[in-house]
């Protein structure tokens, strides 16, 4: 399972290194989007990527995961755009969000050129579902810059997992407003 998560992480690093920006996230300016199986409030100024266009063909395929949603800021900074990625996977065994993220966290140091765990804390979604939130700095090879990542997971109906990651530039230290995006994730 950890190898699968590492594969997903490489996808996230790839997406994060494609462009660059420091988006302004105003939690009062969020737009609610409904996708298959979930609802999420995202910054109104961010762009939802069309996964059916030619851009998506260049994305690495996350083994055993479905790429549900990619959202990015419009603001570029140092060839990077802040982004949000949601992946999903049907689970073989019923579980809860807290157990799922605890078993599938990103802390496998040997896969990275650089890894530093900044935050590992309990996290609660707006409907009181408990999970964990990991915030870390990572660099997967010498050619990529270090980035800040926020990751959590949500399990819906015990059998469908959603892995949520926000990639941020290193100049963003206060991640509280980005946590609000995660908190508003709701299962349908």
Q: What is the pLDDT of residue 46?
A: 87
Q: What is the pLDDT of residue 20?
A: 36
> Of 16 and 158, which is predicted with more confidence?
158
Q: What is the pLDDT of residue 142?
A: 83
Q: What is the pLDDT of residue 161?
A: 95
Given a cut of 90, whether residue 179 has pLDDT beyond it is: yes
Whose CA is closest to 135, among 179, 70, 69? 179
Range in 83-87, 141-145, 148-152, 174-178 the model is least confident about: 141-145
Joined together, the tokens standing for residue 22 give 């420091």
Given a cut of 70, whether residue 116 has pLDDT beyond it is: yes
CA distance 88 to 163: 6
Range in 21-25, 82-86, 116-120, 164-168 the model is least confident about: 21-25
Q: What is the pLDDT of residue 92?
A: 93
Q: Spell out the domains of the chain, with CATH numbers in brackets.
A: 2-187 (3.40.1000.10)
For residue 156, what pLDDT band results from cuts at 50, 70 and 90? Answer: very high
Q: What is the pLDDT of residue 17?
A: 44
Given a cut of 60, whether residue 164 has pLDDT beyond it is: yes
pLDDT tens digit string along 20-61?
333 344 545 888 989 888 999 998 888 888 777 655 545 566
Q: What is the pLDDT of residue 51?
A: 74
Strands (E), the chain: 30-35, 38-43, 47-48, 66-72, 83-90, 114-124, 130-139, 147-156, 160-168, 186-187
pLDDT tens digit string along 68-114?
988 888 776 656 678 898 999 999 999 999 999 998 876 656 667 88
Mean pLDDT of the chain: 79
Claim: this prediction has a pTM higher than 0.85: no
14: left (phi over 0), alpha (psi -120 to 50) or beta: alpha
CA distance 109 to 49: 30
């Amino acid at each position: 399972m950890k190898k699968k998560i590492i594969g997903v992480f490489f996808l996230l690093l790839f997406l994060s290194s494609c462009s660059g920006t420091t988006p302004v996230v105003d939690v009062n300016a969020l737009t609610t989007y409904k996708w298959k199986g979930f609802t999420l409030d995202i910054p109104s100024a961010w762009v939802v990527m069309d996964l059916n266009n030619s851009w998506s063909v260049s994305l690495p395929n996350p083994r055993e995961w479905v790429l549900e949603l990619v959202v990015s800021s419009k603001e570029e900074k140092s060839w990077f755009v802040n982004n949000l990625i949601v992946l999903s996977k049907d689970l073989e065994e019923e579980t809860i969000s807290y157990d799922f993220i605890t078993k599938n966290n990103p802390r496998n140091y040997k896969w990275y050129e650089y890894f530093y765990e900044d935050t590992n804390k309990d996290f609660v979604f707006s409907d009181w579902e408990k999970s964990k939130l990991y915030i870390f700095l990572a660099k997967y090879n010498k050619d990529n810059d270090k980035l800040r990542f926020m990751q959590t997971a949500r399990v819906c109906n015990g059998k469908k997992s959603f892995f949520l990651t926000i990639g941020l530039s290193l100049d963003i230290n206060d991640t509280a407003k980005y946590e609000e995006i995660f908190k508003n994730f709701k299962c349908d």
